[in-house]
Amino acid sequence: MLAALGAALALHLMPASASDFSQPWKNPDRALIIDAYEYNPIDWDKLVTDKRIVGFINKASDGLAPAYSCKGDETEVRLCKALWRRHAVTRELYQTRRAMAKALGLKWGAYHLARPGNPIDQANNFLDFAQPGPDDLMAIDIEENDPKKWMSLEDAEQFVRHIQSRTGRYPILYTNGSTAQYIAENRGKYPLLSRLPLWYARYKQEIGPHFPKGNWQSYTLWQFAARANCNAKSCPYRVPGTPTDIDVNVASMNPDELRSAWPFGKLHDIREDLIAKAPAGREVAANGDTTMAYASAPQSGPLAALESALSGKHAAKPGHTEAEVPLPDLLALPEGSLLSRFGNYVSSLRDRMVEWSLGGQELPPGLDPTVSGATPPKADRL
């Protein structure tokens, strides 16, 4: 018994592909993506000599749009006008870079730096600024889970929902390891953020022990190089034609797969709620990434109860015997969405009630006991 349990646990703890969570940028088959903001100089001729660079993601909007009219004292007016000039120059640079990147065959994307403030207005500001095409990636950048400095996760849910309502697509989520972990642990509270493709920011050589696999199976993009770990002396990866502090990202796929999957506008499938992961031994975890086993957690609430009923797992009320009206065979109902299965269930239950009310006799032609009158047989209506 113990031997079998040990063997099963060993299977669950087998190391996953090291190329996914341990320095994947060293794998020449992995695609790379640059992300930049307005102050990063780019030498495009040199940049495209690196054939692993497949995409370019540029900062678009930053929080709320500047005020349309400048009011206040002299200092406030001067600041307002300076913000407008910066906004105009940044937008012009954005459009120029997009045209250049696409002309060179690079995939294009834009991100919004999410700050405190009305999330709907910020979403509109992003779309007005970025003007994303159908093949342009969109991203929301949540630097930290600190609503005093950055957009709150609750507001980010509204931002994402509004982007989808206007474009028919979802953005991807850029955030750091601790914020991603918090969203994963509270995915019931953040049903959209927890299902967005993840752009993971962590400047470590290995991320396997820290990655929130209970929610995301893998990252879509991993930002592994930035000012935090790259300088003139050392850098995990240097891109020709860019400064030492440029942000570099690795994809979880090769260049062809990345081009095919771009711009990642869909939500991930809902994962079953999971609890109680098996602990990895210290020696096993030190050797690289591990795949954990999780146990299912029971659901609660009216929708979960309905889903349970449609799965044939219903029970009689306490103190009551089985219902005298025979219930339909729930497990034999056609597969489909929860609402379609519920509709089939109600229709089948109605037929059983009619059959029961007639004492097992067949329903006379043209008689519908659920309405106040009778209808002629179908043959008479032809």
| DSSP code per residue over 252-299 | SS-HHHHHHHTT--SPPPPPPPEE-PPPPPHHHHHTS--PPP-EE---
Residues 6+ apart with CB under 8 A from 241: 42, 43, 44, 45, 46, 47, 49
Q: What does the alpha-carbon distance between residue 2 and residue 61 come to, in Å, rounded to a whole number?
A: 58
Contact 16/297 with Cβ under 8 angstroms?
no
pLDDT range class, residue 357, cuts 50, 70, 90 = low
pLDDT, tens digit, 9 for 90 and up, residues 41-66: 999 999 999 999 999 999 999 999 99
For residue range 104-148, what is the model confidence (pLDDT) as tens digits? 999 999 999 999 999 999 999 999 999 999 999 999 999 999 999
User: What is the per-residue pLDDT for 332?
Assistant: 47
E strands, 295-351, in order: 295-296
Read off the pLDDT band of 69 (50, 70, 90).
Answer: confident
| 189 and 314 together in one domain | no
Q: Which of 320, 276, 319, 308 is closest to 294 using CA atoms?
A: 276
**Predicted pLDDT at 364:** 52
Give the separation between CA 15 and CA 18, rounded to whole angstroms.
8
Residue 145 near residue 193 (C-beta atoms within 8 A): no
Q: Do 280 and 308 share a structural domain?
A: no
Determine contact, residues 184/194, Cβ cutoff 8 Å: yes
Task: Write out the two tokens for 36.
Answer: 């930049």
How many CB atoms within 10 Å of residue 239? 21
Q: Does residue 137 sit in the same domain as residue 188? A: yes
What is the model's pLDDT at position 272? Answer: 56
Q: Which domain holds residue 326?
A: 302-381
Q: How far is CA 246 from the centre of its chain?
A: 25
Mean pLDDT computed over every residue of the chain: 79
DSSP state of 206: B
> Structure tokens of 245?
């502090």
C-beta atoms surrounding 291 within 10 Å: 15
Domain boundary residue, one of 286, 315, 333: 286
Are 210 and 86 within one domain?
A: yes
pLDDT digits (tens, 9 = 90+) for 296-323: 444 444 445 444 444 444 444 444 444 4
DSSP-derived letter for residue 310 is H
The answer to whether the CB of 116 falls within 8 A of the CB of 62 is no
pTM: 0.69
Number of domains in the chain: 2
Three-state DSSP state, 209: coil
Residues 135, 255, single domain; the answer is yes
Q: With a cut of 80, say whether residue 38 has pLDDT above it.
A: yes
- Tell whether 106 is covered by a domain: yes
Whether 214 and 258 map to the same domain: the answer is yes
